[in-house]
Amino acid sequence: MALSDLVTTCLSPPVHYVICKLGFEKKDTYDINNILSENGEVCWQAVTEHVCYLESDQSVDYIKSIRSLGPVCEAVNLHFKSLSKEQFVVRYALWFHWTNYTELFLEVFDVLQYTQTTEVALGLMKLTSCLERALGDVYLLVGKDCPFLLRDLLASEQLAVVFGQAVMNVLRVFIGSPYGLNLRNVLWHGFASPQEIPAKYCAMLLFLTAGLGQLLQTYLLQTKCILVHRPYVIFVGIEEIDVFPDLNHETLSIAEELVKPSSFVLKTMSPFWMAALTAFKQSRYADCVILLLPQLEVGLRLLFTTANKCPNRFLTAEPSALYTTFDEMLAKHLDNEEVNQLPTVLEEPAMEFLWDFLNHQEGPRIRDHLSHGEINLKAFPREVANQIVAFAITLLCRFSDEDLSAFKEHMVIKPLMNCASCYRSRFHPSSRLKKQVLECMKSIQLWPELPTVPEEHVQTIKGLEGNAEASSLILKISEILSELQQYTPQNCYSSDDPVNSVLTERLLIELCDMRISTLYSPRPVLEILMILRKVSTQCHQVSEQVITSTELRYKQWINKTLRSRQRHNYLRMLNSIKFLSPVLRLILVFITLELVNVHLVCKKNPSDYQQYLKFLKSVLQYTENLVTYTSPEKNKWDETMEITNKALMKIRKISDRKLMLMQLAT
């Protein structure tokens, strides 16, 4: 029998007791009118008196507080159940406006009427993330730099200034402290099964949110402050994460069949999986992903604890120890410095997918943004949900105690398995650099299409030198190229034009298509990638400036609005383009060759590494100077020629000394 069949709870005994039993120990019924005034205001004094404190240091006694607040939560739950939707809206809707998402809290009220366990858990997850975002907005009325962790936010002096310390202590009993109920973390990290979260705690948080709205209104009236809501995070570059084919009804039906036999799913958690797939079918994409992410975390935790032979890390940890979360599971080493075995079990493509979607700074970081309330749930993109569900389906297939070969070969599942097995990182710095290089090359390729002045006009302006210098620079470029050519794929160019036939987009595409290991890149690798990306950014800016300036000056030339000096400058620019295009393309090829061999930097001794770093920084300095000199304000084309000459000599020198990474590869 699989471990996934045997596990009945992911809550450790002490945590299970705190969440499922402690708040039910006091049996006395509590009168709702004690904490609710006739005009529907929360009597905070009557709520805060249920928070108990330790005699030793006056910190919150969470155990006694939860026990004391249990009957109060029950009374609030019954009170909401006694109201019609219209009554609830009239009495409470106004007090949710401060959260910037009133509809969500009205939805949670509906959920409490029917108490389907998965819906209560989902409602709580959405409520707590939205509440966290709104509390962060309130924090910024008083302080700067809002804390990233809910725990730190609730313990902040800034929120105590607005709401009072006693009120913040009530909130900390329910969320944000590992010593309290800690409902947000227990749910978002996938430790609680649907039936383990009492609906009365969801009701209480709904009630407290309205009460906070009332306190906030008083504060805003007194201070004349205005609450400003931070804009939502928007997923950029969604097309880049479009990896898996679009999921249709048939695929989702097969996924539902896979939930039962897969050992990736704990039996107690299967309602969450079914609810997530249903939400996708109903186009509720945010709900789908919010339900599914914690389940991916549970399934991976099961694989992680099995692979690393540490079953004790499967359950929620006690307050004094860390939970085993995505962060720990995706890391290279365990906390005892041993190598994490999960990557071996999952294999690199799946690890790269998880890093891309959850961890990389430039990736969508879906879990972070969702759980901290930073995403507009009403406009959650289908494409993102599609990727998460498709990836989850591949894990259901891969990890099973039964023979699922029939499923794996099914015509709608097989393409998903193929996509998962050949996934490559899109958000690792090396992947971002590849994208930058190709975009920059596309920009430089527009140069030949730029309008130029007819040749006879050029002849009429005396004293325009520079063709000889430009030719001399191009000669230097071809000399460097002849050295670099041995490190490039031989099928990408012809020999008749050594510069223009080599420095092509085709060569860059070929190089960028080479696979580079991205998991756990050592620090020197990341340091080099950072500099190369800066160089690429500067090159792109030079190209954009040349395009803009050329088009503008041409228009002015045709309209006869250029003064004599400006005409001279314009012609110098046109002359400079002759060598600037090949030199920028040379730098792009150089960057890409170094990128392909970037891991060899770890073979350099410290002295060579420092020299290499110094060289790269000098290339960066050159491109930064190019940006300055080619800007419309400066227009220093003669100086551009000078610094290019020096930069090419430096590149030649480093190449002769065999200090480049591509030269280590042979």
Q: Which of 492-501, 531-540, 601-610 has the highest mean pLDDT?
A: 531-540
* The two three-digit tokens of residue 492, written as one number: 């990408």
Name the 3-class secondary structure at 367.
helix
CA proximity to 298, closest of 318, 272, 276: 272
Each residue's pLDDT tens digit, 368-386? 999 999 999 999 999 999 9
Q: Distance (Å, rounded) from C-alpha 513 to C-alpha 509?
A: 6
Mean pLDDT of 139-147: 96
Each residue's pLDDT tens digit, 23-76? 999 998 999 999 999 888 999 999 999 999 999 988 999 999 999 999 999 999
Helices (H), 451-563: 455-460, 467-484, 505-512, 523-558
**Which region holds residue 452: left if phi is over 0, alpha if psi is between -120 and 50, else beta?**
beta
Mean pLDDT of 435-447: 96
| Contacts within 8 Å (CB) and 24+ apart, 303-306 | 303/264, 303/342, 303/345, 303/346, 303/399, 304/328, 304/329, 304/340, 304/342, 306/3
Q: What is the pLDDT of residue 519?
A: 94
What confidence category does residue 406 fall into, taking pLDDT thresholds of 50, 70 and 90? confident
Alpha carbon 131 to chain centroid, angstroms: 21
Residue 1 has pLDDT above 70, yes or no: no
Mean pLDDT of 215-237: 95
Each residue's pLDDT tens digit, 456-473? 665 554 444 556 777 888
Compute how many other C-beta atoms are within 10 angstroms of the C-beta atom of residue 141.
18
Q: What is the pLDDT of residue 238?
A: 81
b/e 379-413 (16+ beta carbons within 10 angstroms → b): ebbebbbbbbbbbbbbbbbbbbeeebeebeebebb
Q: What is the pLDDT of residue 57?
A: 87
Residue 664 has pLDDT above 90, yes or no: no
Contact present, 292 and 392 (Cβ < 8 Å): yes
The letter for the amino acid at 445 is Q
Mean pLDDT across the chain: 92
Phi, psi of 618, deg, nearest 5:
-70, -35
Q: What is the pLDDT of residue 436?
A: 97
> What's the whole-model pTM score?
0.93
Q: Distance (Å, rounded) from C-alpha 427 to C-alpha 360?
A: 6
CA proximity to 540, closest of 647, 629, 436, 388: 436
Which residues contact residue 595 at a Cβ distance below 8 angstroms, ignoring those fewer than 6 apart?
A: 430, 433, 434, 437, 511, 516, 529, 532
Q: Distance (Å, rounded) from C-alpha 511 to C-alpha 116?
A: 54
Helices (H), 93-198: 102-114, 117-142, 150-154, 157-163, 165-174, 183-188
Each residue's pLDDT tens digit, 622-659? 999 999 999 988 889 889 999 999 999 999 998 888 88
* The two three-digit tokens of residue 419, written as one number: 């996509």
Q: Distance (Å, rounded) from C-alpha 622 to C-alpha 219?
A: 55
Helix%, strand%, coil% for the chain, nearest 5 = 65, 0, 30
Distances (CA, A) of 291 to 125, 176, 263, 313: 9, 20, 18, 22
What confidence category does residue 497 fall into, taking pLDDT thresholds of 50, 70 and 90? low
Share of the chain above pLDDT 90, in %: 77
Helices (H), 249-381: 249-259, 270-281, 285-307, 326-329, 342-346, 348-354, 366-371
Compute how many other C-beta atoms are within 10 angstroms of the C-beta atom of residue 137.
18
